[in-house]
Every structure is written in C-alpha cells, then in structure tokens.
C-alpha cells in the first residue's frame, strides 16, 4: 500500500471540531454526484460516511480521476476538512456539517456491477444475500450488528473474568453421546471406522473442570446440532457457557443477572431492573400456555371448561376450553373474526369461537348462554362490556398450548408491549417428561440435572412428579438459555440414568468418563448456557439470528457462499475408509 495514502482517520469519526485539519481517508465509494461543476462523493467505511468534494479549480487531476469513480470502488484521498456551506448541511449523519476538499485521489481497486445495492436497505432474497455475503455485510445495519456482537462479547469476558471465572477452551472433537439432538460426525483417518462428534455443548467437559478444582469456568463456545432450523436456530451457534462450584441456584441467578445488566448497560446504555421476576414452570403453562412467555403483554389464558362444557354447543363438549380476553375489541367485524380464525387454524386450532361482550352478547354460541353462565365467564376472564373473548377447544393440554401460540398473534395484532425488554426466570421444571411417540420417559432438560431434595423420594415411584433444580432465562418470549444444578453424586446420576432407560453398562459405555470423574470427589456445582446469537439479535431488533452472524447458513443448513456441504475427492474418502452408497430409487 502506498504510504502516502495510509489512513489517518476513520470517516464517521470526523466532526465540526476537526475543521481545518488535513486528513487521509480510505474507504468505498458509497455514491457519486456531479453538480455545478463539482463532484461530490460519499466515502464510506465501517464507522460511517463523509462527503468528499472534487473541485477542478483546486486539483484538476483528482477531479478528472473522480469522474471515473463508480459505486463500491475502493479509494484513498488526501484533503482538508471544511465546514459545509450554509444550507447544505445534513444533520441526519454525524459528519453532516463538514466536507473534505480533496487534494489527491488514488484508486486501490475497482468493483464489478453489484448484484444488489449495499448503500440502501432494499428487499433482496435471502439466497442472493448469503451468496454475496461479503457484499451484504457492507450494509450499515449489518455492520452495526457485527459491532454490537463484538462489544457484547468483550463485556461478557470482562464481567465474568472480574467475577472470578477463568476462560477455558474445551475440545471441538469429542465422542458422540446421542441423547439429545443429532450429532455432526467427523470420521477419523487414524482410527478408521471410528468417528468424532462436534460438541452440542461443552456440558460434560465443564462438569469435569469443576471436578478438577477450576471452581469457576466460562467460554464463548461454538456448538453444533444437526437439527431442523428455525429463525432462532443454526447448525452452528455460539453460547456463553459458564459453570461454578459450591453454589446454588440463587448464586447462578445473581451472576447471570449481573451479566445481563452489564451487557445492556455497556452496549445499549440501558439499565435493567434487578432482580428479574420468577415464575414456576406450572404457572407459566397455566397462564400463558408456554414455558417461555412474553410478559410484555397483559393477555393471559383462562380455563373455562367447567363453565362451557355444560352448554349445548358441540365443539365445547368433553373438551378443554381455553379463553383469552382481548380488551376493548368487542366491536370487531366479521372480516376481523375470519382473519383471526384463519390465523388460529394455521397455528393448529381446529376452530375459533368468539363472544363479543356488548349490551347483548353476540357470537356463535351466545344463544346458549344465560345470565349466570355469562357472569361466571366474565368473572373468570376478568372481562367487561366492550371486550372480546376468544376460545379454542381441544384435548386436554393441546388447547392450552395452541392458545399460547395464538396469544402471540393476538398481541401482535392488537397491543403494544408495555416495556422494551422483559426478562423472566422460569423455575421448578419437571425433571422428566413423557415422550408419547416413543412411549418412554426422557429428560426435560438433560440427564445431568439434579432433582430437588424434597422430591427425591418420588424418583423410582412417580418420576414425572419430580421437580428439577433447573431454570431458564426468557427475554421477550425468547428462551435465552437454560441451566441447572448438576448431579455431583455418581450414585444419584446412575439413578437418573436408570429412570431414563440407560442401564449401568450402557451408562459407563456412553458417559463412563463423567461417572469416573464424579467418583473422585466432585463439588456441588451448576451453571448455565446463554445463546449469544439470540441475545444480540434481540438487542439489535432483529427477527432472525442470521442477521447477527457474519456467515450464516440457510434454512436447510446450506452455505450459498462456499456451497457447503459439498462433494469431496474420492481419495479423501478412501483415506478415511468411507464409501458413498447411492440411495436406491424404487
């Protein structure tokens, strides 16, 4: 690089106080305009934009070269900072009161015609954006997102380090433990026929670090899960992973709340209110139909089965009937009801019943209501004249969960959140759940979570009633992460494995290294894993974590930029002892 054009400043960091200074700037041509015998160029780097002025009377050589400039050419300039003429200021940008009168110009590189504009937010399909991600990342919005992610990571490291945690890296190549999601497998060339697995989490290693006496560990960890993608999932993702010894749930709550306070204060200058509220798993499902409720909205679910099972309305008979109150929307139109019904069906409801509380209630089953039943409905749902009641009926449990999903649509359509950020701890999870499809008991979180002391006596007799020392942190209806106090007693861990159908021989085959470690004196320990991608996405106001990742993959785990996954050379497969079996077409 020509040292004459080595940058002295960043574009977006200049302001009116710098008038009169000589600077050297580097960046991309964001836009060029010819006007009144002058050429104006908006020069862009990661900090922002500054206006350049090319005047043939000042330097004709630079002016003539500037006539050739196109968008996204990479240039360097030397010039003097001047105050913009009165009336030409642009107060929408930090540098809008100044401009650079260019003395010298050099072109570092030229650009092909772009597949889409990067200097404005236009609608571009996802595949094209990811195919040209190196261009997509030039957009100011994405650059701000990547900067925010960097700042959050730095705050995390400082806070946890100052809190006595050590950053420790755990292996990326480990053994497969297929008890959770599907593993990404890596074949071994040295040990033909055997495979490593990429970690779904550092769970087992961080527990062994506690056995090792590390006491407090953290890691900004890359994790991998071969599962179907959603807006908040990627095949590879990043979590803030932490574990500590000689602690209980209250210690974890305090550590994590302090971490989140530091993140939001340091990155957004927002002071969170501590401590975060807590809600039991059972209460969350009862009131909101989910274990990750968005409590920015006041809408809740109400079980009105006992009242409405008794009326002569077939859809309600012998069903669980769950209601939601939509305040002050009793004047809804027929078209509005049809739209809500379509939305409810799309979320899994078999239908949607409604009741408008006017002077005379109206709705598909209003003729079956007498004054007593109507009064009971109003009491249970805390509703009054002018409100709209919506009902979903289905088998027990299904109706509530479906209405929980529908509640999100109701909130989106009719209400504004009552706060920007609403954190919530969900506690008292069940230790186990029952998988009806596979007819077996499985771990609600993971098999290393400890049971509550007062429920241990139920382990072998009524395991589904056992509560766990587990907790989730929810923000605006999004699960940020999960954690628990672990089983530090190898005998208790074996009991949990047994209930999950993992006998002792199988347990030692899959988790022998952990059981052995626990048998050499393990301290009480617990921790948490928080999704860094999700945290940054919410802070940036993005719907998808793909907007805060530098190089994300598509919904079907494909990278349009590198075309991964891809075929590999036959010789590579031969070295690994692998042959590809083509799928037979019947």
The string of DSSP codes covering 118-152 is SSS-----HHHHHHTHHHHTTSHHHHHHHHHHHHH
pLDDT at 540 over 80: yes
CATH number of 3-109: 2.40.50.140
pLDDT tens per residue, range 404-461: 999 999 999 999 999 999 999 999 999 999 998 889 999 998 899 999 999 999 999 9
For residue 368, the SS3 value is helix
What is the tens place of the pLDDT at every residue in 25-60? 999 999 999 988 999 999 999 999 999 999 999 999
Instruction: Tell me the percentage of the chain whose pLDDT exceeds 70.
Output: 98
Q: How long, in residues, is the chain?
A: 586
Chain position carrying tokens 């530091």: 262
In which band, very low, low, confident or very high, does the pLDDT at 586 lie, cut at 50, 70 and 90? low
Q: What pLDDT digit, counting tens, does each position of 367-416 carry?
A: 999 989 999 999 999 999 999 999 999 999 999 999 999 999 999 999 99
Q: Which CATH class, in words, describes the domain spanning 297-414?
A: alpha beta
In 317-410, the DSSP E strands lie at 320-326, 353-356, 388-394
Does residue 9 register a pLDDT over 80?
A: yes
User: How large is the C-alpha radius of gyration of the chain?
Assistant: 30
Is 70 exceeded by the pLDDT of residue 230? no
Characterize 101-133 residue by residue with b for buried, 16 or more Cβ atoms within 10 angstroms of its Cβ, and e for exposed: ebeebbeeeeeeeeeeebbeeeebeeeebbbbb
Q: Report in angstroms the alpha-carbon separations of 297 from 243, 415, 421.
A: 33, 8, 11
Q: Helices 203-211 and 504-518: crossing angle, nearest 10°?
A: 40
- φ and ψ of 176, to 5 deg: -75, 130
* Cα(404)–Cα(337) distance, integer angstroms: 18
Calculate ∠ Cα 374-375-377, nearest 5°: 65
Task: Please determine, for residue 308, whether its predicted confidence score (pLDDT) is greater than 90.
Answer: yes
Of 380, 432, 387, the closest CA to residue 414 belongs to: 387
Residue 571 has pLDDT above 80, yes or no: yes
Mean pLDDT score of the chain, rounded to an integer? 95
Its CATH class, for the domain covering 141-270+529-571, is alpha beta
Res. 19: pLDDT tops 70: yes
Query: Cα(26)–Cα(73) distance, rounded to whole angstroms?
Result: 11
Rounded to whole angstroms, how far apart are CA atoms 552 and 538? 17
Q: How far apart are CA 357 and CA 540, in angstroms?
A: 40
Kindly report, residue by residue over 454-490, the tens digit of the pLDDT. 999 999 999 999 999 999 999 999 999 999 999 999 9
pLDDT for the residue numbered 36: 81
Name the band, by pLDDT with cuts 50, 70 and 90, for residue 180: low
Q: State the sign of the Cα–Cα–Cα–Cα dihedral 23, 26, 28, 32.
A: positive
User: Is residue 332 a contact partner of residue 390, using CB atoms and an 8 Å limit?
Assistant: no
Residue 135 pLDDT greater than 90, yes or no? yes
Per-residue model confidence (pLDDT) at position 1: 77
Query: Can you give the pLDDT at residue 327?
Result: 95
Q: Which of 131, 31, 13 minimizes the C-alpha distance to 73?
A: 31
Tokens 């990750």 locate to 292
pLDDT of residue 229 exceeding 90, the answer is: no
The span from the CA of 276 to the CA of 149, in Å, is: 23
Residue 555 banded pLDDT, cuts 50, 70, 90: confident
- Burial category of 366 from C-beta neighbours within 10 Å (exposed 0-12, middle 13-18, buried 19 and up): middle
Per-domain boundaries in the chain = 3-109, 141-270+529-571, 297-414, 423-522
How many other C-beta atoms lie within 10 A of the C-beta of residue 515?
18
Per DSSP, helices labelled H in 163-280 are: 203-211, 249-268
Q: Quick check: 161 and 168 in contact, CB under 8 A?
A: no
Task: Determine if the pTM surpasses 0.85.
Answer: yes
């Amino acid at each position: 690089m020509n040292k004459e054009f080595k940058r002295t400043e960043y574009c977006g960091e200049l302001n009116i106080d710098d008038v009169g200074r000589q600077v050297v700037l580097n960046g991309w041509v964001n836009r060029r305009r010819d006007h009144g015998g002058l050429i104006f160029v908006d020069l862009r780097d990661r900090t922002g934009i500054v206006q350049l002025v090319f005047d043939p009377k000042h330097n004709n050589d630079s002016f003539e070269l500037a006539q050739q400039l196109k968008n996204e050419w990479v240039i360097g300039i030397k010039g003097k900072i001047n105050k913009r003429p009165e009336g030409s200021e642009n107060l929408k940008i930090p540098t809008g009161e100044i401009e650079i009168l260019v003395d010298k110009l050099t072109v570092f590189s030229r650009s092909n015609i772009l597949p889409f504009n990067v200097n404005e937010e236009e609608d571009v399909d996802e595949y094209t954006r990811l195919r040209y991600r190196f261009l997509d990342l030039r957009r100011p919005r994405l650059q701000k997102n990547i900067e925010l992610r960097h700042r959050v990571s730095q705050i995390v490291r400082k806070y946890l380090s100052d809190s006595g945690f050590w950053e420790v890296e755990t292996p990326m190549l480990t053994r497969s433990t297929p008890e959770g999601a599907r593993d990404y497998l890596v074949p071994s060339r040295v040990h033909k026929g055997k495979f490593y697995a990429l970690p779904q989490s550092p769970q087992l290693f961080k527990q062994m670090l506690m056995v090792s006496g590390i006491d407090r560990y953290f890691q900004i960890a890359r994790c991998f899960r071969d599962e179907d993608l959603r807006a908040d999932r990627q095949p590879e993702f990043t979590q803030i992973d932490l574990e500590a010894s000689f602690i209980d749930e209250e210690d974890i709550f305090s550590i994590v709340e302090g971490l989140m306070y530091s993140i939001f204060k340091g990155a957004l200058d927002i002071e969170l209110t501590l401590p975060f509220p807590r809600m039991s798993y059972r209460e969350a499902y009862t009131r909101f139909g989910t274990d990750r409720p968005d409590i920015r909205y006041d809408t809740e679910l109400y079980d009105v089965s006992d009242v409405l099972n008794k009326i002569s309305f077939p859809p309600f008979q012998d069903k669980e009937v769950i209601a939601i109150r939509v305040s002050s929307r009793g004047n809804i139109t027929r078209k509005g009801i049809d739209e809500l019904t379509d939305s409810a069906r799309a979320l899994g409801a078999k239908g949607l019943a409604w009741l408008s509380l006017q002077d005379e209630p109206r709705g598909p089953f209003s003729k079956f209501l007498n004054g007593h039943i109507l009064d009971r409905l109003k009491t249970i749902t805390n509703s009054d004249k002018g409100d709209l009641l919506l009902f979903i009926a289905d088998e027990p449990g299904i109706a509530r969960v479906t209405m929980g999903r529908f509640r999100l649509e109701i909130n989106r359509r009719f209400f504004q959140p009552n706060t920007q950020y609403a954190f919530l701890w969900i506690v008292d999870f069940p230790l186990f759940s029952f998988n009806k499809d596979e007819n077996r008991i499985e771990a609600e979180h993971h098999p290393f979570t400890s049971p509550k002391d007062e429920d241990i006596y139920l382990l072998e007799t009524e395991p589904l009633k056992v509560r766990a020392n587990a907790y989730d942190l929810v923000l605006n209806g999004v699960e940020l992460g999960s954690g628990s106090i672990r089983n530090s007693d190898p005998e208790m861990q074996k009991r949990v494995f047994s209930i999950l159908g993992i006998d002792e021989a199988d347990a030692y085959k899959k988790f022998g290294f952990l059981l052995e470690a626990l048998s050499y004196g393990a301290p009480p320990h617990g921790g948490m894993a928080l999704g860094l991608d999700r945290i940054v996405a919410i802070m940036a106001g993005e719907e998808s974590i793909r907007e805060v990742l530098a190089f994300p993959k598509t919904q079907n785990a494909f990278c349009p930029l590198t075309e991964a996954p891809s075929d590999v050379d036959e010789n590579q497969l031969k070295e690994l002892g692998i042959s590809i079996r083509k799928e037979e077409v019947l």
